[in-house]
Amino acid sequence: MDEAGPVGRKTKRPSSRSWDAVANWYIGWAGAEGSRHHRELAIPAMMKLLALQPGEHLLDIGCGAGALAPAVMAAGARYCGLDKSPRLIAHGRRHHGGKVRLLVGEATKLAASSSLRREEFDAASFLLSLQDIDPLDAALASARWALHPGGRLVIVMTHPCFRIPRQSGWGWDEARGLRYRRIDRYLTSLDIPMQEYGRKGRAGGGTTRSYHRPLQSYFAALSENGFLIDALEEIPAPAPEGEGRALRLSSGDIPLFLAIRALRRR
């Protein structure tokens, strides 16, 4: 991800930087087949909207170590994953062996990859990756380039209306006995520092970034890049076992993830 200024400051960036510097941390947290939230929520939502048919070809953009690959193969489809981090791709190749195709590449510049062909894929996915990729327009234009006309793009991301890093959180209303979601900022697009790496202020040090955009920005960018949205689902997180009614209600009613399917117009 990019180095940038404080949260909310607009900066000019050619593209997102890789998560290569935090690859070991990420693999330690998520593993090659994803975290619990990947396996129980995000991947099932992705596969439902992808509706892959045997023999179809999927491009997973910002794939990390290829957490989506086992589900795609189980559906009888072909998997190709692309990520800018050589370390994550190397880990994925070791884990998945020769069963899938994993490439090092720039999500916003797919046409520059000698390993990909225009309109090669039936479907494309951003599995919890699009909010870490900037610029948004370039990422969606690249996805369109990779899809054949009528091909489908599915995005699963943390819900931009309710889960804004460092600008949202849970609160407790003692008088009403309920847990609520607090939103500090929403309509402003934000460049948010996330995971630090290296030594602060030293060469090679820095912070990964997450890019918050309001929902209208995603809808507008999809339309402008030749996509037609045809499905949307909001996915809540399961309440922790043994928790009270207030926590169960808030967990079930305030979604963690948003899934969008869009079709490439001809």
From the CB of residue 240, how many other CB atoms can be counted at a distance below 10 Å? 9
Give me the tens of pLDDT residue by residue for the chain, a chain 266 residues long.
Answer: 333 333 444 444 444 556 788 888 778 877 777 788 889 999 999 999 999 999 999 999 999 999 999 999 999 999 999 999 999 999 999 999 889 999 999 999 999 999 999 999 999 999 999 999 999 999 999 999 999 999 999 999 999 999 999 999 999 999 999 999 999 999 999 999 887 765 555 555 567 889 999 999 999 999 999 999 999 999 999 877 767 888 888 989 999 999 999 999 98
pLDDT at 22: 80
Residue 180 lies in a domain: no
Domain that holds residue 61: 20-163+211-264
Residue 175 lies in a domain: no
Residue 184 lies in a domain: no
Residue 242 lies in a domain: yes
CATH code for position 100: 3.40.50.150
Residue 178 lies in a domain: no
pLDDT at 242: 66
The helix or strand, by DSSP H or E, that contains position 44, with its residue range, turns out to be helix 43-50
Q: What is the pLDDT of residues 153-186, one digit of tens each?
A: 999 999 999 999 999 999 999 999 999 999 999 9
pLDDT at 130: 97
State the Cα–Cα distance between residues 100 and 90, nearest whole angstrom. Answer: 12
Q: What is the pLDDT of residues 28-61, one digit of tens each?
A: 877 777 788 889 999 999 999 999 999 999 999 9
Residue 72 lies in a domain: yes
Model's pTM, two decimal places? Answer: 0.89
CB 212 within 8 A of CB 165: yes
CB 255 within 8 A of CB 45: no
Q: List residues bridging with 258 in a β-sheet.
A: 157, 234
The number of folded domains in the chain is 1
pLDDT at 91: 93
Residue 260 lies in a domain: yes
Residue 191 lies in a domain: no
